């Protein structure tokens, strides 16, 4: 070990700022792009706002290397049951397909919306019981034509 590496220490930081997390994501993306030769990542997102401009629903993720991950999907409780989640999901899938994506991945706990994803053709690929305790984390994938 070099002398410089001996002076490095692990520091507890449980409150990384959004800018620090973004910088970390950028470093991981640089590594992944170099390893795969694919540097085509793009964010993908859609929002629904009420008449006053307040956010009542959103879907966000990214596309990269012919795949996509839907990382966040949310509709305010007062606006659920009106098809807004389906509208957001349809918009996300349509844009991903336009970008040439072949597979879209999403994770959803059993108390969230795995049935919604299944209704539009997502297939359960894995289930992790006890994540969190008493519940299951479901990984789903939709293959696009």
Work out the average pLDDT over 105-126. Answer: 97
Work out the average pLDDT over 75-86. Answer: 96
CATH of domain 40-143: 3.40.630.30
- pLDDT, residue 115, reads 96
Residue ranges per structural domain of the chain: 40-143
Q: Which of 2-6, 9-13, 89-93, 127-131 shows the lowest mean pLDDT across its residues?
A: 2-6
- Asked if the model's pLDDT at residue 56 lies above 80, the reply is yes
* Exposure string for 64-73, b = 16+ CB within 10 A, e = fewer: beeebbbeeb
Task: Give the integer Cα–Cα distance in Å for 109 and 14.
Answer: 24
Reported as a single tens digit per residue, the pLDDT across 93-115 is 999 999 999 999 999 999 999 99
| Rg of the chain in Å (alpha carbons) | 19
- pLDDT, residue 5, reads 63
Contact, 67 vs 103, CB < 8 A?
yes
């Amino acid at each position: 070990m070099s002398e410089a590496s001996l002076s490095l220490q692990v520091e507890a930081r449980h409150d990384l700022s959004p800018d620090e997390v973004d910088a970390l994501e950028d470093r991981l993306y640089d590594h992944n792009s170099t390893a795969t030769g694919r540097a085509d990542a793009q964010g993908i997102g859609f929002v629904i706002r009420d008449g006053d401009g307040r956010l009542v629903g959103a879907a966000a993720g990214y596309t990269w290397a012919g795949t996509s991950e839907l990382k966040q999907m949310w509709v305010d409780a007062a606006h659920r049951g009106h098809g807004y989640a389906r509208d957001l999901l349809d918009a996300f899938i349509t844009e991903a397909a336009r970008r040439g994506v072949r597979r879209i991945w999403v994770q959803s706990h059993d108390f969230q919306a795995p049935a919604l994803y299944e209704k539009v053709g997502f297939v359960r690929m894995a289930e992790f019981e006890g994540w969190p305790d008493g519940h299951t984390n479901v990984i789903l994938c939709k293959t696009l034509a």
